[in-house]
Amino acid sequence: MRKIVIAGNWKMYKTQAESLEFLQGFMSHLEETPQEREVVIAAPFTDLSILSKNLHNNRVLLSAQNIHWEQEGAYTGEISGSMLTEIGVRYVIVGHSERRQYFGETDETVNRRLKAAQRCGLTPILCVGESKEQRENGETESLIVTQLKKGLVDVDQQNLVIAYEPIWAIGTGDTCDSPEANRVIGLIRSQLNNPHVSIQYGGSVKPNNIDEIMAQPEIDGALVGGASLEPESFARIVNYK
Ligand SMILES: O=C(CO)COP(=O)(O)O
């Protein structure tokens, strides 16, 4: 069975006070959310601990946005897996295009982070996706196959979520057409050795397009940026029809 996983990626937004304010507005909407949908919030490191203390049941699971591959050491500015699991974090986003673009993330470092996450029991959400230029040059398929092949070396596909996030659709309002997202996600699935891996779509997911996206047979969830920052908007997304 493929799980439905709807995750909000808050990126570098929300102080602790703002994150608690979000919870106040958000939690009541979950009463109508079907139990089998997993709802995840990927918050900044500084918010995770206080969110964890204020989430008394497991209705919302927490995710980090990055993880270092070593268990501990002289790595100024980094966070290890055990620091995350100790405060109740369950997921971690790995290889987001913003980390690949601005912070030198490569398929090799992505692979190391994925394995580190799994070693300490976190479920990694591996992000893959092409730029506008790569799409226009007809490189979408080969790029994604390479990202998967290199990223997933020795990675356990029993404990993994993948997000297809075309870079040109992120933060632009220019959503990838649902049938096209469905097609690429089908291609991603064909590269895996476990048919039960959940594969999300990400890139300008909004309350007004989530129903159509989730109606696609290959799409098992969403990774939502901007529209996850407001309680009503993220609630409408997790409660898609
Ligand atoms: O990058 C994203 C989620 O990880 C998508 O961001 P937007 O939903 O703001 O386009």
- Report which ligand 1 atom has the smallest distance to the Cα of 11: 4
Residue 88 labeled ligand binder = no
The tens place of each residue's pLDDT in the chain, 241 residues long, gives: 899 999 999 999 999 999 999 999 999 999 999 999 999 999 999 999 999 999 988 899 999 999 999 999 999 999 999 999 999 999 999 999 999 999 999 999 999 999 999 999 999 999 999 999 999 999 999 999 999 999 999 999 999 999 999 999 999 988 899 999 999 999 999 999 999 999 999 999 999 999 999 999 999 999 999 999 999 999 999 999 9
How many domains is the chain built from? 1
pTM above 0.90, yes or no: yes
Catalytic site residue from 96, 98, 130, 218: 96
By alpha-carbon position, which residue is closest to atom 6 of ligand 1? 225
Check if 196 is active-site. Answer: no
Return the pLDDT at 1. Answer: 85
| Residues 88, 52 contacting (CB under 8 angstroms) | yes
In the three-class reduction of DSSP (H, G, I as helix; E, B as strand; rest coil), residue 121 is classed as coil
pLDDT in tens, 130-189: 999 999 999 999 999 999 999 999 999 999 999 999 999 999 988 899 999 999 999 999
User: Residue 57: what pLDDT?
Assistant: 82
Taking the C-alpha atoms of residue 62 and residue 123, their distance in angstroms, rounded to an integer, is 11
Do the beta carbons of residue 191 and residue 95 sit within 8 Å?
no
Residue 83 three-state SS:
helix
Cβ contact 22:44 at 8 Å: no
With beta carbons less than 8 A apart as the criterion, state whether 210 and 240 touch: yes
- pLDDT tens digits, 186-196: 999 999 999 99
Ligand 1 close to Cβ of residue 238 (< 6 A): no
CATH number at residue 176: 3.20.20.70
Q: Beta-carbon neighbour count of residue 71 at 10 Å?
A: 12
Q: Which two tokens stand for residue 142?
A: 């080969």
Range of the domain at 19: 4-238
136 is annotated as an active-site residue: no
pLDDT for 56 equals 82
